[in-house]
Structure 1
Amino acid sequence: MSFLLWFALQFSQFTVFLYFLAINTVYTVLIVLAMRDIIRHAYLTTSRVARRQLAGEFYYKPVSVIVPAYNEAAVIAQSVKALTNLHYPEFEIIVINDGSTDDTLARLKEDFSLVSSKKPVRLQVPHEAIRAIFKSADYPNLIVIDKENGGKADAINAGINVSSYPIFCSIDADSILEPDAILKSSKLFLEDDELIATGGIIRILNGCRIQDGSVVEIGLPGSFIEAMQVLEYTRAFLSGRTGWNALKSLLIISGAFGVFRKDMVVAVNGYRKTIGEDMDLVMRLHRHCKDNAIPYKILFVPDPVCWTQAPFSMKMLLKQRNRWHRGMIDALLSNRGMILNRKYGATSLVGISYFVFVEFLGPLIELFGYVSIPILYFLGMLNTQFMVMLILMAVFWGISINVAAVFLDTYNFRRYKKTSDILRLCLLSAAEFFGYRQIMLLERLRATLSFRETAWGTQDRQVFKQ
């Protein structure tokens, strides 16, 4: 065997070891920071609310809630009904029918008594042509825009141009906000003038019961695919987003629920037409503020809650994860000038570096490990004891991080009250590493090979459980 082949195979073991060590170290740091910040946030929030109630003070900024909708006839009425129940003094709901080919617009007209409106459109950010604007005869703060199809980003831009208020909240049409979600999010803009964007936690609606547009019963979904997504979302938001907050490196505010200062979004020309519009917008906001020496903050807060319908089949889940990965790659490429650029501080050197070396290159390195280990074994070059130790360490470390996220959620928020649900999430923490993770890895690799595709694909919806 040549020296080069021997060296390459030995180097592969070292590379895989370093990768797993690095990624689990990052996850551990994130969850430790998340534990600290979530506990502190809960204390400060309780203290602020108590002081405000004691003083009898309440101030607010009016908010525009923007809901892009494409072929959402199955869920749109329930989602909009939930928005009319928000506990907030002054807000408007703007639903954008983005050229739907189903009965989305017809359902809105029927359920909310829509009539024609001459509400002005301010041309601040680009979008496809608006065909008509309607207002509700039953709900004075409900506006519906009917426009040519242009995609989610284009639809939100249309909503921005029609909106009346300085703060806007963008949510998905298959999502339900808790009644106090806008209140908990928007108050942060009063407390900190430097805040330009914030996101709340996204929770899985599957398995929950809806009544009159509100979540009245929370439960873990029965299927493995749906329940696994509950675990993933818990880990991603409570440990991931909160940890990136602490490192001043938050790059994603979920497209399902984000609150923004409108003037800052207009300053970067609104949302860009891309499948990763949420990450792309946040990266451009970071860049704009750094380039122009504007003091700013972009934060995740764990208590405003948005419930969203997750894919209920493996086919739909893989489509979603493929789209997410392609969107991340597109956002990184479109903002590649920020990569390893000291000008952008921790946002670049910590946050963007993580997405490049872990989220983008990680699947390639992990696949390399899965392929090289059998080759090394059959060639008699594998240090079996070392490799078994490495695999066990990676799996148990990963399980520990998952379980820590579950207990962090249980201790601070107590959403899932059944002991059986919590135990099931802990079991899923282990099950993730035996098949599910590898399937998601292969789909991310497929997305990497097809990252130039811009199609969203169809989204199947189920009527919310009543």
Structure 2
Amino acid sequence: MSEITTLIYLVLDLAHSLGQSMTVIFWFMPLMIMYELPLLILVVTGILRFYYQQHSTTQVTSLYTPKVSCIITCYGEKAAVVTTIASFAEQVYDGEMEIIAVVDGAVSNAETYEFAKTAAVKYSTNNRHIVVLPKWQRGGRVSALNAGLSVATGEIIFNADADTSFDNDSVAQIVSYFIDPNVPAVGGALRVRNVNASFLTRMQSIEYLISMQGGKTGLAQWNLLNNISGAFGAFRRDLLIQIGGWDTHTAEDLDLTVRIKQYFSRHPQWRIPFATFAVGHTDAPHTLKDLILQRMRWDGDLFFLYFRKHWPAFTPKLLGFGTFIYTLLYGYLQNVLMPIIIAIYSVAIFVAFPFVFSSAVAVGIYFVYLAILFYIFIIVFLAISERPKEDIKLIPWLVFYPIYALFMRFVCLFALLNEWLRRSHEESSMAPWWVLKRGRKF
């Protein structure tokens, strides 16, 4: 009990000392807060700008209804593919839709193939054409996407995972952005469908809401959208063909986004919007093992793309100055340097100072981040949330999120080291090993 009392007094003493000691400020306020403050400002002002636009302009029903092709990549989803096909077929979109379910490795995934064929018969209508395209030899996600692109005839191409379902106005929401000829692609929002499955799915639900929906909404207002999710995004078909479709290796979604941005200098009027209210629902990993494996792939692939594959193209001459600076600070440095700094900082505090003092500093930092988290959550909740009754249930779980976020930083660090030392992108589950090995070496 005395240890807890001592800890409380030390935290209060640290708060009192903030205005008197720069040394305490240095230890209490890690570099990460100062570094991420500009990003926080961009996101918050972008969200407020989005909110103002939504409530100050009259929403007009769009008459632009081009034919769209929805490529669904299927591999082992079985009955879940029916829900995905149905969610596209039942869209409240007046234009013609072509739904292409590409079954990768159809020989070994015969059950998924049969479910897809059953759904095609059930949901096909006059302006909803459903095609089931079997790839008998498994080639991976990129191969499946390109196979779908080769038969797609729509002006706008959607990409989606077979375990993801969509709100019935998602296609109409995204297509409306393509009225602007300077929009080459649009990102869609994602939510965690199995939010109540475990503690970890609740943490990921908060993460998706704040980072993927709130963060992308804010950044897109300044044309700084960092990634179009591979689970839900849309592109102009002519552009995809021009740049050669999806490329091999892994993290095909970030890879494609980076390749599109390499045209920004030549087309400074281009912008990549984010359709905040076009929502897809996906199942997040509910066990610690599955979550770590997912993030090992995500974060390792990020290192591969930024520091191996696209390093030569990292120049203002291709990206444009604004995109170059943002990518440098919050693509390269934040995703690679910050996990290292946080890990060193976390260990150094406990090595350099007595345990009780170090614990007090850690508790103080926790409350600072918790306050920032609540601030962002409230803004996202009030300005963006289209499901407030569901999102308000996440508030009690916010107290655990800073600890979850710190743990995921350590997972990120391990993933970066794994890619740097072992080239982990060549071991991805997204494609057979022989496909990844045959890809160009970087």
Q: Give the TM-score band, short-chain normalised.
A: 0.7 to 0.9
Contact 1:168 1:261 in 2 (8 A): yes
The two structures have a TM-score, normalised by structure 1, of 0.77
Contact 1:31 1:405 in 2 (8 A): no
Matched residues in 2 for 1:427 and 1:351: separation?
34
Q: 2:184 pairs with 176, 191, 196, which one?
A: 196
Shift of 1:393: 5.6
Structure 2: 5+ residue stretches without partners: 1-22, 432-442
Q: Is 1:330 aligned with 2:326?
A: no
Deviates more, 1:67-76 or 1:22-31: 22-31
Q: What's the offset of the Cα at 1:457?
A: 3.3
2:71 is the alignment partner of 1:95: no
Question: TM-score if structure 2 supplies the norm length?
Answer: 0.81
Report the AA paired with residue 30 of structure 1.
L
Q: Secondary structure at the match of 1:47?
A: coil
Residues 405 and 294 (structure 1 numbering): CA distance in 2 closer, same or farther, change over 3 Å? closer
2:78 aligns to what? 73
Q: What is the aligned counterpart of 1:433 among 396, 399, 402?
A: 402
1:19 equivalent to 2:31? Answer yes
Contact map agreement 2:74 2:162 (CA 8 A) in 1: yes
Residues in 2 aligned to 1:97 and 1:72: alpha-carbon distance in whole angstroms: 10
Q: Which residue number in structure 1 is paired with residue 13 of structure 2?
A: none
C-alpha separation in 2, matches of 1:73 and 1:432: 33
Task: Give the structure with the higher percent helix.
Answer: 2
User: What 5-or-longer segments of structure 1 have no aligned partner?
Assistant: 1-10, 115-134, 208-220, 460-466
- 1:416 is displaced (CA, Å) by 4.0
Q: Distance in 2 between matches of 1:342 and 1:267?
A: 20
Residues 383-402 of structure 1: per-residue CA shift (max 9 Å, x gap): x59x955x456433432333
Q: Does 1:348 align with 2:317?
A: no
Which residue of 273, 285, 303 corresponds with 1:311? 285
Matched residue, 1:179: 168
2:336 counterpart letter in structure 1 = F
Classify 1:416/1:223 alpha carbon distance in 2 versus 1 (closer, same or farther; 3 Å).
farther
User: What is the CA–CA distance in structure 2 between the aligned matches of 1:254 and 1:140, rounded to whole Å?
Assistant: 24
Whether the 8 Å CA contact 1:37–1:246 is kept in 2: the answer is: yes
Indicate if the aligned counterparts of 2:170 and 2:278 stay in contact, CA closer than 8 A.
yes
Are the equivalent residues in 1 in contact too, given 2:86–2:119 (CA < 8 A)? Answer: no
SS of equivalent residue, structure 2 residue 424: coil
Cα-Cα RMSD:
3.1
Structure 1 residue 32 and structure 2 residue 37: aligned?
Answer: no
2:138 paired with 1:149: yes
Q: 2:58 aligns with which of 41, 44, 47?
A: 47
Separation in 1, partners of 2:302, 2:291:
17
Q: 1:393 and 1:35, CA in 2 relative to 1: closer, same or farther beyond 3 A?
A: farther
Note if contact 1:76-1:108 (Cα within 8 Å) is conserved in structure 2.
yes
Matched-pair identity in %: 25
Deviation by residue 1:339-360 (Cα, 9 ceiling, x = unmatched): 4646521111113421211111
For 1:357, the equivalent position in structure 2 comes to 333
Deviation for aligned residue 1:283: 0.7
- Give secondary structure in 2 for the equivalent of 1:367: helix
**Residues 256-315 of structure 1, C-alpha deviations (whole Å, 9 max, x = no match):** 11111111122211111132111111111111342x446311111211111111112221
Q: State the Cα deviation string for residues 86-131 of structure 1 (Å, max 9, x = none).
A: 11121110111111523211222244349xxxxxxxxxxxxxxxxx
Query: How many pairs are equivalent?
Result: 399
SS of 2:339 mapped into structure 1: helix
> Would the aligned equivalents of 1:319 and 1:457 in 2 still touch at CA under 8 Å?
no
C-alpha spacing 1:295/1:346, structure 2 compared with 1 (3 Å): same
Question: Following the alignment from structure 2 to structure 1, what is the Cα–Cα distance between the partners of residues 202 and 161?
Answer: 21
